[in-house]
Structures are given as C-alpha cells and as structure tokens.
Amino acid sequence: MKTLFETFATNEGGRVGHVTSDNGAIDLKVQMPDNNGQPEGTTNPEQLFAAAYASCFAGAVQAVAQQMGIKDLGDFSVKSTISLNKDEDGYYLEATLDTYLPTVDKEKGEDIINEAHEMCPYSKATRDNITVHLNLLLDE
C-alpha cells in the first residue's frame, strides 16, 4: 500500500459545534437543521459527506470515461443526496448519486456510472454499509 496523501479535520462541539480542516479551507459552524431548514452560515455532517462523495464520485466518472476513450463529458455533474434516517434499530444513512452525462448515450452512461461506483473510494467505503442509489441523467 502506498499512501498518496493524508489530511485531517477537527470538530469541536459535535453536531452543534465547529469543524476545521488542517489547511483552513474548511472552517464552518456545524448545526443540525430545524423546522425552518439549515440555519444560515452553518453546515451539518450529512452536507459535508454529500460534498465529499459527489466530488470523489465525479473524479471516478472522469477516470472511467478516460479509460473508455471518452474525451469530452461536457458540463457533467454529480449530485449526491445523503439522507439521515431513523428506524427501530437507530440512525442510518442512505445515498443517491444523480450523475448528469450530457455527451454520452444511455448504454455508455450506465457503464460509466457502474464502473465509477466500483472504482470510487467513497463507494468502496460505503459498500454493504449503506444503500447507494445510482441514477443516470441524460439529455433528451
């Protein structure tokens, strides 16, 4: 195993607290949403996870497309929706990855997102731990 890089973030105060990254790029108040939504100027762990998963999965999409010889993905995007759920066993997460690929057909798009799901480190970390839904969005 070869470590490519390491980073860290520190939380103080839990879900009503503050989180910072080692380089200062993340310096955010953490607070859970209330009946009026997310309080302005704050984030929560699920938003941070959604941002990280979307970014990582998008990188995997690019890598897979490149391996397939697809040079132009256009203005592609990955929207990661993370749900915090609760049932009789307690709290759990669920993820939905909506991948918009405007320059490929349905068959290639499905191949790309399925292979990206196999490659993405976040997908590997969540495999068999949380339900992840993959959605392909195409231009009509």
- Is residue 18 located within the same domain as residue 54? no
Residue 81 lies in a domain: yes
- Is residue 75 located within the same domain as residue 106? yes
- Is residue 73 located within the same domain as residue 85? yes
Residue 95 lies in a domain: yes
CA distances from 79 to 18, 107, 108, 125 (A): 25, 20, 19, 18
CA distances from 64 to 7, 60, 73, 127 (A): 25, 6, 11, 19
- Is residue 36 located within the same domain as residue 88? no
Task: Print the domain residue range for 25.
Answer: 9-42
- Is residue 50 located within the same domain as residue 38? no
- Is residue 116 located within the same domain as residue 50? yes
Which pLDDT score, from 0 to 100, does residue 34 have?
A: 84
Beta-strand relationship, 77-87 and 90-100: antiparallel
Residue 14 lies in a domain: yes
Give me the number of domains the chain comprises.
Answer: 2
- Is residue 69 located within the same domain as residue 108? yes
Neighbours of 30 (CB within 10 A): 19
**Residue 117: CATH number of its domain:** 3.30.300.20
User: pTM of the full predicted structure?
Assistant: 0.93
- Is residue 82 located within the same domain as residue 131? yes
Residue 54 lies in a domain: yes
How large a percentage of the chain has pLDDT more than 90? 91
Amino acid at 128: D
pLDDT in tens, 34-46: 888 888 999 999 9
Nearest to 53 by CA among 135, 132, 139, 140: 132
How large a percentage of the chain has pLDDT more than 70? 99
Residue 4 lies in a domain: no
Residue 80 lies in a domain: yes
The rounded mean pLDDT for the chain is 95
Q: Which of the 8 DSSP states describes residue 35? A: T
Residue 57 lies in a domain: yes
Q: Which of the 8 DSSP states describes residue 34? A: B
- Is residue 98 located within the same domain as residue 67? yes
Q: CA torsion, points 105, 107, 110, 116, in degrees to nearest 10?
A: -90
